[in-house]
Chains A and B, each alone.
Chain A
Amino acid sequence: MSDKRHDPAEPGKKGVSRREFATKAGVTAVGACYAAAFGYPIFRYLASPARTYAEMAAITEVPIPREKVPGPGSALMFRFGTRPTMLIHHEDGSMVCFDAVCTHLGCTVQFQPEEKRIHCACHGGTYDMNTGKNIAGPPPKPLTPYQVEVTDEQILIKRA
Chain B
Amino acid sequence: MGTTVLDWLDERLGLKDIVAFAKKKTVPDHKYSFWYYWGGISLFFFIVQVVSGILLLMYYQPGPNAYDSVRQITYEVDFGWLIRSAHSWSANLMILALFIHMFSVFFMKAYRRPREFGWWSGLTLLGLTMVFGFSGYLLPMDELAYFATKVGLELPKTLPGVGAVITELVQGGPEIGSTTIQRFFSLHVVILPLLYIPILALHLWLVQKHGNAIPESEAAKPESERRSIPFFPNFLTKDLAMWLIALNVLAIMASMFPWQLGPQADSLAPAPEGIHPEWYFMSQFQALKVLGEVFTGKLAIVGEYLGIGGFTLGGILWALIPFYDHDSKNGRRARNATYIGLAALVGLMVLTIWGYVGVS
Contacts and interface: CB of A to CB of B under 8 A. Distances in A.
- Decide if A and B touch, CB cutoff 8 A: yes
Interface of A: 41-42, 44-48, 50-51, 53-54, 57, 106
B79 A44 contact: yes
Contacts of A53: 61, 65, 68-69, 72
Nearest to B63: A54
Interface in B33-63: 55, 58-59, 61
Interface string B69-103: 10010011111101100000000000000000000
A22 B91 CA distance: 38
B78 A48 contact: yes
A54 B75 contact: no
Given A45-B83, A53-B65, A106-B76, 5 more contacts: A41-B83, A44-B78, A45-B77, A50-B59, A57-B65
Contacts of B65: 53-54, 57
B75 A106 contact: yes
A105 to B, nearest CB: 8
Contact of A48 (B61, B76, B82): B76
Contact of A45 (B55, B61, B69): B55
Most buried by B among A41, A45, A48, A53: A45
Nearest to A48: B77
B72 A46 contact: no
A48 B75 contact: no
25 contacts: A41-B78, A41-B79, A41-B82, A42-B79, A42-B83, A44-B78, A44-B79, A45-B77, A45-B78, A45-B79, A45-B82, A46-B55, A46-B58, A48-B76, A48-B77, A50-B59, A50-B77, A53-B65, A53-B68, A53-B69, A53-B72, A54-B65, A57-B65, A106-B75, A106-B76
Contacts of B59: 50
Contacts of B76: 48, 51, 106
Contacts, number: 39
Interface of B: 55, 58-59, 61, 65, 68-69, 72, 75-80, 82-83
A114 B76 CA distance: 32
A160 B167 CA distance: 38
Contacts of A51: 72, 76
A115 to B, nearest CB: 29
A42 B69 CA distance: 18
B81 to A, nearest CB: 10
A54 B82 contact: no
B263 to A, nearest CB: 12
B167 to A, nearest CB: 30
Most buried by A among B65, B68, B78, B83: B78
A80 B58 CA distance: 24
Contacts of B55: 42, 45-46
A64 to B, nearest CB: 26
Contacts of B80: 45, 48
A50 B58 CA distance: 10
B61 A47 contact: no
Nearest to B247: A34
Closest 8 CB pairs of A and B: A44-B78, A41-B79, A48-B77, A45-B79, A53-B65, A48-B78, A53-B68, A44-B79
Contacts of A106: 75-76
Given A41-B82, A42-B55, A45-B83, A54 B61 contact: yes
A47 B79 CA distance: 10
Nearest to B71: A53
A14 to B, nearest CB: 12
Contacts of B77: 45, 48, 50
Contacts of A57: 65
A30 to B, nearest CB: 11
B10 to A, nearest CB: 14
Given A53-B68, A53-B69, A54-B61, A47 B78 contact: yes
A48 B78 CA distance: 6
B203 to A, nearest CB: 27
A60 B77 CA distance: 25
Contacts of B75: 106
A57 B69 CA distance: 13
Nearest to B83: A45
B23 to A, nearest CB: 13
Nearest to A37: B251
Contacts of A41: 78-79, 82-83
Most buried by A among B61, B76, B77: B77
